[in-house]
Amino acid sequence: MHRMRRAIYTTSFVALLLAAPAVADEGPMTYPFGRSHMSLNGNWPIIVDPYGTGAVDYRRRPRSDGFFRDAQSKSDADLIEYAFKNENTLRVPCDWNSQRPELLYYEGSVWYRQRFDLTRKPDRRYFLYFGAANYRADVYLNGEKLGSHISGFTPFEFDITKLATDGTNTLVVHVNSARDRNGVPTDQTDWWNYGGLTRDVLLIDTPLTFVRHYRIHLDPNDPRTIIGTIQLDGPKQAQPLQIAIPEAGIKHDVSTDQYGRAEFRIPAGNLKRWNPDDPKRYDVTIACNGDRVTEKIGFRTIKTARHQILLNDRPVFLRGICLHEEALGDGQRAVDRDQAEALLLLAKELNCNFVRLAHYPHNEWMVREADRLGMLVWSEIPVYWTVNFERAETLTNARTQLRDMIERDANRAAVIIWSVANETPRSDVRLKFLRQLIDDTRALDNTRLVSAALETHYDNPTTISIDDPLGEYLDVLGCNEYLGWYDGAPAKASTITWTTPFQKPLVISEFGAGAKLGHRGAKPKRWTEDYQGDVYRQQIAMLEKISFLAGTSPWILKDFRSPRRLLPEIQDGWNRKGLVSERGEKKIAFEILSEWYQQKDRENLSTAKVQNDPLHP
């Protein structure tokens, strides 16, 4: 395999790694878009291969002459039963399901080919970077296997310095979107299994020694100090570096050790704090001999105090909404900046300051746009419903996705919560599995909050208790509840009291109801905007009474494709719990929620007292 590196994990994470089953110890470089690169996006010739014929023969033996060879017939006598044709292409980045009607429901293998010309320089290295490929990707260059990757929502890369040739290089990627009972996610989800090369593909070139990973943020224990780590990759491990934030008058010199690693502490001076109303970001440059990377980064602190969430030491109420990584329109993965911006601006219009990116790490444009626009983010790995908690490989898979999610977005001020699971059934093996992920999260990043979306539990017919044993290990309790939709009539919400044994803030991470745009009717007619609106009114009245509530993210911003939603003329393969239709047309409930959020914003919780706050007695 063409990649081996020591990533910049905290020492405790290395200890964890050594303790538990192996997680591959590398992560893609930080900020690939900020490096010298060539985009390989475009229309790629493809072969749809439902039987995986390009990989295995009729005895299921791996083929040595598989499609990765991109074989060209040299004479009429040659027997070759496949070919990549320029007339038969798919757009990259994009899922294949939305590109052709016959591929809408397709789950299986597709082979992609891309050619690129290269004139290698002796003082440069070359990497192929994939933003993501759903679900399993086998990658070949010039007929040689570079490696494989599983998980449809995290980036991966290959060092091709040795394998690339001068002139034309042939890249072949075999993507298989088949669902896996033992996978992460497992084979049952409530979202469309969009397959393919769904995110950017880059050819990156770097100096022989370059800045592979870096983290920079305020010290959560001493916010007047900037701290961070840098990890070099290459022959010149020990060397001087400089961290510069010109606008803040900061220039700091530090040196890496013999492992190419450096840690730093810098007085923050009067650095402005990032917050949703004023998402201030600074140009931060990290430079070593021969390499420099500049990125826009915001600085803020996030923590909890009993039932409150404190942003920059001030209480904040998370006025949120959930969203899938699906663009406005007829159902396709959101893959670029504009599509991300369009979704986040809709959330802004809802008076949101927070989005829950469900149920998997969204593309990098989404979190960068949240950073730019000022939207707090809950980011999650797809440990969703009944993942196979018994299986060590499934845990390793989840741990790797967690590491890659955190590694990619660690410098995003917008991201405040890492979530390790959604609606997972209580059991000892599940608790052990999730505790491992929580420990990993704290070891990888102790500057953010850890949560999970728990399920409700009735103490008695009118009392819901957030007492899932997992709550003990979380910073923020997330809870999905569907009072008025799966659980009783809308008015039931008014009868419910909420309790919890945990002195922690609660975020209602889901509530909602389905409605088909334009369907109207007297309550209690389901699927009407009126019914959905009533559920929101009843929920809001109930939520206002929960003393330990620190935020909410209703399900969901936009109607989205789901193969589980099959009611004709209403759902037709769409989950209709959006506050807007798939094309962005508003339903009644949109207004109801945006008004409540406006009122919440006016309450301007920032003036509220911090509960038993040593800073403000």
Q: By the criterion CB under 6 A, which residues form the site for ligand GCU?
A: 190, 359, 422-423, 480, 510, 555, 575, 577
How far, in Å, CA of 254 to CA of 241, rounded? 5
How far, in Å, CA of 438 to CA of 421, rounded? 10
442: part of which helix (H) or strand (E)? helix 428-444
Residue 134 identity (one-letter amino acid): N
CA distances from 427 to 184, 434, 481 (A): 18, 11, 20
Phi and psi torsions of 166, nearest 5° = -70, 140
Q: How far is the CB of 576 from ligand GCU (least distance, A)?
A: 9
Q: How far is the CB of 291 from ligand GCU (least distance, A)?
A: 42
Residue among 51 and 486 whose Cβ is closer to ligand GCU: 486
DSSP state for residue 385 in the 8-state scheme: S
Q: How far is the CB of 328 from ligand GCU (least distance, A)?
A: 18
Residue among 66 and 551 whose Cβ is closer to ligand GCU: 551
CA distances from 100 to 48, 107, 296 (A): 12, 13, 38
Residue among 317 and 555 whose Cβ is closer to ligand GCU: 555
Residue among 441 and 575 whose Cβ is closer to ligand GCU: 575
In terms of Cα–Cα distance, which of 536, 538, 554, 547 is closest to 608?
Answer: 547
Which residue's structure tokens are 């449809």? Answer: 152
Beta strand 250-255 with 240-245 is: antiparallel
Q: How far is the CB of 477 from ligand GCU (least distance, A)?
A: 16
Q: How far is the CB of 464 from ligand GCU (least distance, A)?
A: 15
Beta strand 136-141 with 144-150 is: antiparallel
How far, in Å, CA of 126 to CA of 500, rounded? 53
Q: Is the CB of residue 449 less than 8 Å from the CB of residue 418?
A: yes
With both helix axes pointing from N to C terminus, report the angle between 392-409 and 364-373 in degrees, rounded to the nearest 10: 40
Residue among 351 and 562 whose Cβ is closer to ligand GCU: 562
- Residue 455, beta-bridge partner list: 480
Q: Which two tokens stand for residue 57?
A: 């023969």
Q: How far is the CB of 506 from ligand GCU (least distance, A)?
A: 16
Counting every residue written for the chain, the total comes to 617
CB atoms within 10 A of CB 82: 15
Residue among 473 and 482 whose Cβ is closer to ligand GCU: 482
Q: How far is the CB of 70 from ligand GCU (least distance, A)?
A: 39
In terms of Cα–Cα distance, which of 285, 448, 280, 481 is closest to 380?
Answer: 448
Q: How far is the CB of 189 from ligand GCU (least distance, A)?
A: 7
Residue among 482 and 502 whose Cβ is closer to ligand GCU: 482
Q: How far is the CB of 393 from ligand GCU (least distance, A)?
A: 24
- Residue 218, beta-bridge partner list: 226
Q: For the chain, give the longest Cα–Cα distance.
A: 87
Q: How far is the CB of 469 from ligand GCU (least distance, A)?
A: 20
Residue among 30 and 553 whose Cβ is closer to ligand GCU: 553
Residue among 196 and 554 whose Cβ is closer to ligand GCU: 554
Q: How far is the CB of 384 from ligand GCU (least distance, A)?
A: 7
Q: How far is the CB of 334 from ligand GCU (least distance, A)?
A: 17
Phi and psi torsions of 221, nearest 5° = -90, -15
Contacts of 489 (CB under 8 A, 6+ apart): 524
Residue among 135 and 560 whose Cβ is closer to ligand GCU: 560
Q: Is the CB of residue 547 less than 8 Å from the CB of residue 608?
A: no
Q: Is the CB of residue 397 less than 8 Å from the CB of residue 148?
A: no
Beta strand 376-380 with 415-422 is: parallel
CA distances from 577 to 189, 453, 493 (A): 16, 18, 18
Residue among 27 and 578 whose Cβ is closer to ligand GCU: 578
Residue 483 identity (one-letter amino acid): L
Residue among 394 and 480 whose Cβ is closer to ligand GCU: 480
Q: How far is the CB of 432 from ligand GCU (least distance, A)?
A: 22
Which residue's structure tokens are 């007047």? Answer: 224
Residue among 205 and 481 whose Cβ is closer to ligand GCU: 481
Residue with the closest Cβ to ligand GCU?
190
Peptide bond into 31 cis (omega under 30): no
459: part of which helix (H) or strand (E)? strand 458-460
Phi and psi torsions of 176, nearest 5° = -125, 120
Residue among 48 and 567 whose Cβ is closer to ligand GCU: 567
Q: How far is the CB of 95 from ligand GCU (least distance, A)?
A: 18
